[in-house]
Amino acid sequence: MKNTKSLCLGLLFVLAGLNNVNAQFGGLKDKLLKVGTAQGAKALGVDKFLKQPAAITTSFEDVNREGEKMPDFINSLKLKAQPLYLLPKNPERGFVLCEGLYEMTNKSYCLKAGTFAPSKGDGYMFAPVLGPKEEIVVSIIKSAEKHPDVEQHDIQALLWTIIARTKFADYNGQVKLTAIKLLTTKQLTQLEGGALGVLPFDVMEKAKDQLPSGVRAVFEAENNIRQLVASGNYTYADLEKYAIVAGMAPPRSDVPSGIWTKHPDGYYVRYFPSGYSITKVQVYVPKELLANGNKLVYDAAGDIACPANTGSQRLAQTNEPLEANYSLKLTTICNPK
């Protein structure tokens, strides 16, 4: 009898704790749903949320254009690109670089909802992943390398929910399972910070009035993604419909397709996207860069192919080749130290 009484008391404490967690994670959402007015949104701090930075803030302004080269700058060298994935693997991820020209077609991920897919003529340059959720996004890219069983679509869906600042308390369906598989418990709790609940129609309309026209579509797309994920009733195509805008953004003439960025480590890199999920990357390593026995590593986790056109998508790069042919051999003698 005494044991039964103790067990009942224990269950009451657990239930009380769960109610407290729900109050912390779901409180703002519940209040917004009840109030549903612009004035209520202001009182509950939606204005403050609008002023918070995006989950990932990388823009073309973060591209260091010093040392950039036009697409034809190595043509005179008459180099044939070799498979980058055949280079020696770096123990901590990535590939150890040797002199020459290398290329790899790899998985890539859209990191900006409500924007145009890459189109022919778009110029993309290197920039790092930046923003409040940069650590989590990079962790997902790295963790995906260790989980080839997780579909690329499922990883993309998870990244869209993070870009949309979805609260983990609102996760439902496949995206929740993917998050649990690729992120640590600590990282899952960090998804609550700076996140938004699903905003009702009236609140959304008032919020859009406070935003510049150029970012309204992104904000609305993010809310639609949050709404879908919270419902648990969605497909990948449903998420993609809001994340990818139909049509194409006009290319910038001063940043042509195939432009080379000088990487902070000294080598040159350029990107040729095929949609948002596939990117061909080329890396050129000058001989003099390795003259003193320097070890150079190409590790794409943390790299973004950043479009010059702000209406196009940022593309997170990976170390995961697509359709790799390991029967090929490098023609360059490559014995990095």
Give residue 200's domain range.
36-337
**162: exposed, middle or buried (Cβ count in 10 Å: 0-12, 13-18, 19+):** buried
- Whether 20 is covered by a domain: the verdict is no
pLDDT at 207: 67
How confident is the model over 127-183, as pLDDT tens digits? 999 999 999 999 999 999 999 999 999 999 999 999 998 989 999 999 999 999 999
How confident is the model over 201-226, as pLDDT tens digits? 566 667 667 776 667 778 888 889 99
Helices (H) and strands (E) in the chain, counts: 10, 12
Closest CA to 87 of 285, 233, 310: 285
SS3 category, 264: coil
Residue 250 makes CB contacts below 8 A (sequence gap 6+) with: 309
Helix axes 213-231, 201-209, angle to 10 degrees: 160
pLDDT at 254: 82
| Mean pLDDT of successive 10-residue stretches along the chain, which has 337 residues | 44 39 40 40 52 87 96 93 96 94 98 84 92 96 96 97 92 95 94 70 67 75 91 94 82 86 97 95 95 90 93 94 95 74
pLDDT at 216: 79
Distance CA 213, CA 196 (A): 20
Tally Cβ neighbours within 10 Å of residue 4. Answer: 8
pLDDT at 18: 36
- Whether 164 is covered by a domain: the verdict is yes
pLDDT at 80: 94
- Whether 48 is covered by a domain: the verdict is yes
Beta pairing partners, 272 = 280
- Whether 119 is covered by a domain: the verdict is yes
Q: Strands, DSSP E only, in the chain?
A: 82-83, 95-96, 100-110, 115-116, 124-128, 244-245, 261-262, 268-274, 278-285, 297-298, 303-307, 315-321
pLDDT at 194: 64
pLDDT at 284: 98
- Asked if 148 and 318 touch (Cβ cutoff 8 Å), the reply is no
- Asked if 52 and 194 touch (Cβ cutoff 8 Å), the reply is yes
- Whether 240 is covered by a domain: the verdict is yes
pLDDT at 12: 40
- Whether 30 is covered by a domain: the verdict is no
Distance CA 46, CA 235 (A): 28
- Whether 15 is covered by a domain: the verdict is no
Closest CA to 124 of 275, 260, 324, 248: 260
pTM of the complete model: 0.82
Tokens describing residue 296: 């150079």
Distance CA 191, CA 49 (A): 15
- Whether 83 is covered by a domain: the verdict is yes
Domain count, the chain: 1
